[in-house]
A and B are shown apart, each in its own frame.
Chain A
Amino acid sequence: MEFLNLSIGEFLAVAGVISAAVLALYLMDRSKRRQVVATMRFWTAGQTPEEMKRKRRIHQPWSLLLQLLSILLLLAAIAEPFWGNRNATRDHVLLLDTSAWMGARARQGNLLDQAKTAALAYLASLPASDRVMLVRADALPTPVTQFESNRSIVAAAIRQSQPSSSALNLEQAMEFAQRSQSLQGHTAGEIVFAGAGRIAQEDAELIVPPANLRMLAIPSIGENVGIRKLGLRRAAISLSASGTSNSANGAAQGDAWELFVALHNDGTRPREVSLELQFAGSAIGGKTITVPASAESRETFLFHAKTGGLVEARIRSTNGRADAFPQDDRASIDVPVSKHLRIAAYTNEPELLRALLGDKEHLDTAFAATSAYVPKPDADLVILDRFTPAAAPQVPSLWIQPPAGSPFNIRSTATKTKLQRWHEESPLAEGLHTTDLQLATAQIFSTAGDLQVIAETAEGPVVVARDAPLKTIALGFHPLQSAMKYDLATPLLMANIFRWMGPETFRRSDVQAGTVGTVTVPLEKDVKQESIRVLDANQRALPFTLENAAGNTQLRFFSGAPGNVRVRIGDRETVYALNLPAIGDLAWNPPANVARGIPRNGIAAASSPALWPWLALLGALGLLADWFLYGRKRIVRVNARTNLRAGEAAFGSKTWRKAS
């Protein structure tokens, strides 16, 4: 307690001086009043009580005590005493819900506008000494300001907040707020959450509200149907003539796609919506779907696309009424463009190679004579069939039985030799186990330098490869002139060669539209971890985790911003188009003991409530009581009319008339 920065002794001295002055004034007031009167006859007639006539120095001592006590109380009130340390400040964390759902329509503006208004009102109700830290809460809690006592900075940050695309992770936000308060040296204030609090159903049970939580709940209209998932993958079924079909009745086709759509109804009543699908601006399907309340409906469509383009799904309410959150009524994903490996084959026997290269799905082969060789053809791969050009090719190349003068050092030429080993650690030998295969003639390469051995005979390597600076492979035998011509290893070897040369061409792609936040990808059992790569839109690696739950391996990664994320597992790639807003399943209902709203009188200061109003009230009541008990009787108002009437009433008002 502090009294005008005075020590207790100084304060008592001041109080003593004032009390002495009050006592002196009291004695002067209560001293005998000398008065000159016209006569003594009525004064002596006044029946004054005997005890009142006794000479006393202090009359009405209770009045004096009451006055002194009241003066002391008023003096103490002026000093504005309080308990605790006046400089104690509290640190409040203001969690502003900026999840995607806060962009939903409200009666005026959107929900975030209402949350901003509530947050600003709370800010205004705080004592000036308290500090506030603004945290935008969505999938990740993002501190926008530090613990700031400058209200204008926090208010500006509140006004600049916009809804994000991710769902609210309230548990994480509260944990962050508690941790932030605990790291500060000041007293922890309140954790205030302003928003709709729409969270995932599985998260609701995990939330343990802190004791200092205050909810500024923003009620929202829950009637909403939206697209939760939109997936695209190559169909393993054929299409009907119309281009779309739900029936699986054939083999896989390269230009057939399977489109998967999941709709979710957040409301409490079933709703009927019309789902429309478009590809490159043309309608490819549609359906009227009744989505049960608080449930999800899934639909699968098939369509045919030879080129890349945008697939767009859009839902419309059949009753014409827009729902609360129109942002999730539309989703789109890109259909990937099919690629071909362009091959320039320089050979004098094109018919021999045509069995391997011609009319293949992903190959686009151009045959040319060795005389037409150019070092840099318009191709992804150059095949030099028993031919060594004067200038080395400037694109990846496949050398078949290269003559002398080639970049490969031929150690010897073996005849009637057998393939004994495939180096399966190389992707070029993946799946090749054929041995004891007799080669009529084979060139044995020297393995000096950075050459990798892919296959070898007893005499030495017959298939070698170089990864850099340009991918180069040399076959010491002709696959179609040896015994391999009839062996399954030949097309498998060529497929490995082409996949190694142009992995983009042979990669299997799926596309899925999803919501921002944590994405879970189910994996096959025998997936090697080193073959997994998760890349963002800028081809930068994103961190991911592998979880093995109930025998199923899952890959999890997090993306806080909308965009495409590519998950490559071997030759398979899934593109996640994370452009759908993530919405929680339900609005969190905090326990009853959680403080709600803003107190009418604002948030109390860090110290206990100020004592001065009560002291002032008590002092005023004391003075009022003194006046009522002792002072009021001393005031005698004399009124002329009262006197006149009193005189007339006492003596009668009869008019005396003349007797006659």
Chain B
Amino acid sequence: MATPASELLMDAALLHKLERLAIHWQKSLPGLVGGHHTSRFAGAGQEFLDHRHFHQGDDLRAVNWRAYMRLDKMFLKMFQLEPRVPVRILVDVSKSMTTGGAYSKFDYARKLAAALTYVGLVRLDSLTLQPFGDKLGDQLKISGGRQRFQPALNYLSSLMPRGSTSFFQIARDFISRYPQRGLVLIISDFLDDADAEKPLQYISDFGHEMILVQVWAPEDRRPPWDGEMDLEDAETGNRVQLSFDETARANYTQAFDDYAAHLRNVALRNGGRYVGLPTDVPVEDALFGPLVRAGAIE
């Protein structure tokens, strides 16, 4: 189900508005110089951070010679580092993302990923677009400004939904593939039959900062159907026959909301953020609304 790149294109007005935004992370993450967020790590920065005692092997250029003249002790000046933190955008391409009728979660997730990629490219972030299903797919690493947006758009357009979702496998692959800590922005419906809490906890435990963007179709949260239902799982093909009524609908919605609240707790507990987006909310509204309010971008 390859989508032409033109369908993922955003108009110039939206792109212009997106240039005012920046992907935001809270943790002090290490990285090479050149980022736009300050870090608690000292390094080759411009802003003075602190003094410490000189140790052998330290760069003599950083010694505070004035203090040495007064105190006859060598202190080393430390500067605040603004590292270039890697931003990894994980896009769910499992078959569960294809449900939702008129409001396709798959297309919505790709549009959202494209918009966030543009935001990151404008701020000269190092971005990685990483599709995933039951395992991580081929990633696209891009950086270097907005002129690199078109390759990212082409890449997103070429993604196809396939397979099921296995967050355990994904967490394992992710930790092994990306040892450098960074910002992990996961765009998914998180509708894995297994529990996604532990895999997400593993990722967070390895020092990554997580932003969970849960995308759901309106019928995912509140199914509009009634009566006898013959349900088929989009990923596994399993079928269940049941009778659905108003009471069951209320129970279903409650269970969905409980699950979403659970995801949110996982994110917040690990210093991350959670944003829930129904697909009937336009991407532009989602960017400047819930995502900004949650602090994922600013």
Contacts and interface: CB of A to CB of B under 8 A. Distances in A.
B290 interface: yes
A652 B226 CA distance: 29
A211 interface: no
Contacts of A55: 241
A370 B236 CA distance: 159
B264 interface: yes
A650 B191 contact: no
B21 to A, nearest CB: 15
Contacts of B97: 38
B50 interface: no
Of A49, A636, A648, A659, which is in contact with the most chain B CB atoms at under 10 Å from its CB? A636
Interface stretch (B109-117, B173-181, B253-261): B253-261
Contacts of B246: 633
A656 B268 contact: yes
Contacts of A637: 224
B189 interface: yes
B278 A643 contact: yes
A40 B295 contact: no
Contacts, number: 167
A39 B246 CA distance: 19
Interface residues of A, number: 45
Contact of B257 (A41, A635, A650): A650
A651 B261 contact: yes
Contacts of B256: 42
A638 interface: yes
A39 B260 contact: no
B231 interface: yes
B260 to A, nearest CB: 6
Nearest to A640: B280
B281 interface: yes
B252 A45 contact: yes
Given A53-B243, A638-B280, A644-B278, A36 B259 contact: no
A606 to B, nearest CB: 51
Given A40-B240, A48-B245, A655-B293, A35 B260 contact: no
B233 A643 contact: no
Interface stretch (B9-17, B66-74, B123-131, B213-221): B213-221
B192 A39 contact: yes
Contact of A46 (B24, B221, B248, B289): B248
B295 A638 contact: no
Contacts of A46: 242, 244, 248-249, 251-252, 255
Contacts of A528: none
Contacts of A652: 264
A40 B242 CA distance: 11
B232 interface: yes
B122 to A, nearest CB: 20
A37 to B, nearest CB: 5
Nearest to B233: A40
A32 B230 contact: yes
Given A45-B255, A49-B247, A40 B227 contact: no
Interface residues of B, number: 63
Of A40, A47, A648, A653, which is in contact with the most chain B CB atoms at under 10 Å from its CB? A40
Nearest to A634: B226
A651 B190 CA distance: 16
A37 B232 contact: yes
Contacts of A647: 221, 257, 260, 276, 278
Contact of A43 (B96, B105, B221, B240): B240
Interface in B59-96: 96
A44 interface: yes
B26 interface: yes
Interface in B31-47: none
Contacts of A646: 221, 257
Contact of B26 (A42, A47, A636, A659): A659
Interface in A302-331: none
B208 interface: no
B193 interface: yes
A600 interface: no
A658 B26 contact: yes
Contacts of A33: 225, 227-230
Given A45-B255, A48-B243, A31 B228 contact: yes
Interface of A: 30-49, 52-53, 55, 59, 633-638, 640, 643-644, 646-648, 650-653, 655-659
The 4 A-B residue pairs with the shortest CB-CB distance, nearest first, are: A52-B243, A46-B248, A39-B191, A640-B280
Given A38-B97, A48-B242, A643-B281, 7 more contacts: A32-B230, A37-B223, A39-B96, A40-B233, A41-B255, A46-B252, A636-B226
30 contacts: A32-B227, A33-B228, A35-B231, A37-B220, A37-B223, A38-B189, A40-B193, A40-B238, A40-B240, A42-B252, A43-B229, A44-B240, A45-B251, A45-B255, A47-B248, A48-B248, A49-B243, A53-B243, A59-B228, A634-B226, A636-B222, A638-B219, A638-B222, A643-B221, A643-B278, A647-B276, A648-B290, A651-B261, A655-B293, A657-B295
Interface of B: 24, 26, 96-97, 99-100, 105, 189, 191-193, 217-236, 238, 240-249, 251-252, 255-257, 259-261, 264, 268, 273-274, 276, 278, 280-281, 289-290, 293-295
